[in-house]
């Protein structure tokens, strides 16, 4: 489930072009959005 949240955040960031806007759309903090992207980077390389 965690990876799905991270992937949803990634899609939101790409669509919005901004961590701040994406985080707002996802209902999460900017810091959590950043952490989700970091988790994806670590798991996918």
Residue 1: its pLDDT value, please? 62
Query: What local confidence, expressed as pLDDT, does residue 38 receive?
Result: 96
The reported pTM is 0.87
**CA atoms of 43 and 29, how far apart (whole Å):** 21
The dihedral formed by the CA atoms of 14, 5, 7 and 44, expressed in degrees to the nearest 10: 130
pLDDT, position 2:
76
Domain residue ranges in the chain:
2-44
Residue by residue, pLDDT tens for the chain (45 residues) are: 678 999 999 999 999 999 999 999 999 999 999 999 999 999 988
Predicted local confidence at residue 39, as pLDDT: 94
């Amino acid at each position: 489930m965690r990876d799905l949240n991270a992937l949803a955040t990634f899609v939101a960031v790409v669509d919005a072009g901004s961590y701040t806007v994406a985080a707002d759309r996802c209902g999460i903090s900017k810091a959590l959005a950043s952490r989700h992207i970091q988790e994806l980077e670590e798991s996918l390389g």
